[in-house]
Chains A and B, each alone.
Chain A
């Protein structure tokens, strides 16, 4: 399948997702040699359009773009014309007038990437780097890549995550990482479980292909997951009464030292970052040998290189996806 944009993890069918992961393997190879450079996107211009602050994701994309020899523009909303009231439409049309091949957009409004892609304001490829509480598809890809590499090692090529059991824990209701992972893990054949207090699940999750649990211990014991993915919980949610206090949240839904023994010896401990050490994840868990937090970051660059390659290197026909 040829991709015009990457707006949602649902844009990827199984074959394309595996192809991107395989390409990311090769990109990881490039990222470990002396000359970390490929000429593939030479002459292409990519804009990182970040309406929300996010240094780590932006740097990850920037590295990926530069290693493929693309020209990179970084547009941060703070202090720009947007903070003075310029609309998404005008920002987009200004960029198009200057000539861009791709826009990587992070925005606080769910659906912003889709609106940008289908508006007709921009001709290039749109990559969703996180839109509100909706999706963050490259995060799901790098999470899947990390799991695949750790679990299948050198034999990863061509494989999905069939039969792999993943437990995602945290503020599911507000998590774009959870939504994208839910979609991609299902596409790759994994079994998805989610754990959260009832207030942090959507009220109507019937369209979600996952098993929902309120009890973290019970879920760990029954499911025996291959990977546990902890999501960042914002303490401010306490003020909207999603949970009574950080202490209670951490005790019941945090991956603390008491809970660690319930994990299998080889179970991966994952976190998209940034971590609230002591809230959703204890330092013991974060620094554990099975923790993949740092390699998730490294893998992010390889995966984003693979995504850029797939979206930008082939011929582009201007038909809508």
Chain B
């Protein structure tokens, strides 16, 4: 098995910064902005993005605008795998009704995780807008889903694995393709 690093720590920091600015730009500001990370690494990315937004736009209250959305219960492949553990869902106190919700995940692949996330959001409330930000888009969509904010487009072969590591979780920060 060979592996090559496609994003270094520095690359990832720059991508996160760019995504943060793009989110604020498309929203014409930080009003009603909520970031919901999809566990596990989506949550860490959402927190990093929120910190960047707050640094450049101090009116943004990062602590109360970031949450986590566990989508295990809404997956469409539950019956094909052993029972998965369910993790916490935490929504900011103000809720998601009429908010601009940006879903954050590390890798966009088939699109099924995001489809499940949209179903979960549907049962939680009614956002005014839902957008999607991902660190890596590796193609091979199985559903008509696209990301609004992309860190890097990485065309991959189906038998390749993308390994995203973030310091808080994995000790280092990098994106590696293994084949």
Contacts and interface: CB of A to CB of B under 8 A. Distances in A.
B83 interface: yes
Q: Is the interface of B mostly helix, strand, loop or mixed?
A: loop
A37 B84 contact: no
B125 to A, nearest CB: 8
Interface stretch (B25-33, B74-82, B134-142, B154-162): B74-82
B64 interface: no
Interface stretch (A197-205, A216-224, A234-242, A308-316): A308-316
Contact of A309 (B70, B83, B119): B83
B124 interface: yes
A314 B124 contact: no
B89 A29 contact: yes
Interface string B60-88: 00000000001001100011111111111
Given A35-B124, A39-B73, A23 B86 contact: yes
Given A38-B74, A39-B73, A39-B74, A26 B89 contact: yes
A313 B123 contact: no
Contact of A314 (B73, B74, B84, B87): B84
Nearest to B74: A39
Given A35-B123, A38-B123, A313-B79, A26 B74 contact: no
Of the candidates B73, B80, B81, the one having the most CB atoms from chain A within 10 angstroms of its own CB is B73
B80 A315 contact: yes
B70 A313 contact: no
Interface in A143-167: 157
A34 B97 CA distance: 12
A1 to B, nearest CB: 10
A19 interface: yes
B85 to A, nearest CB: 6
Contacts of B85: 19, 22-23
A3 B83 CA distance: 9
Given A19-B85, A309-B83, A314 B123 contact: no
Contacts of A25: 88
A40 B77 CA distance: 10
B88 A314 contact: no
A74 interface: no
Contacts of A29: 89
Nearest to B124: A33
A243 B19 CA distance: 74
Interface string A35-49: 101111000000000
Interface residues of A, number: 22
A175 B109 CA distance: 53
Contact of A22 (B84, B86, B89): B86
Interface string A73-107: 00000000000000000000000000000000000
Contacts of A23: 85-86
B33 to A, nearest CB: 22
B72 to A, nearest CB: 8
B123 A40 contact: no
A138 to B, nearest CB: 17
Interface in A174-220: none
B81 A38 contact: no
B83 A310 contact: yes
A315 B79 contact: yes
22 contacts: A19-B85, A22-B86, A23-B85, A26-B87, A26-B88, A26-B89, A33-B123, A35-B123, A38-B73, A38-B123, A39-B73, A40-B74, A40-B78, A309-B86, A310-B83, A313-B78, A313-B79, A313-B84, A314-B82, A314-B83, A314-B84, A316-B79
Interface of A: 2-3, 19, 22-23, 25-26, 29, 33-35, 37-40, 157, 309-310, 313-316
Given A40-B78, A157-B88, A316-B79, 10 more contacts: A2-B82, A22-B86, A23-B86, A26-B89, A38-B73, A40-B73, A40-B74, A309-B73, A315-B80, A315-B82
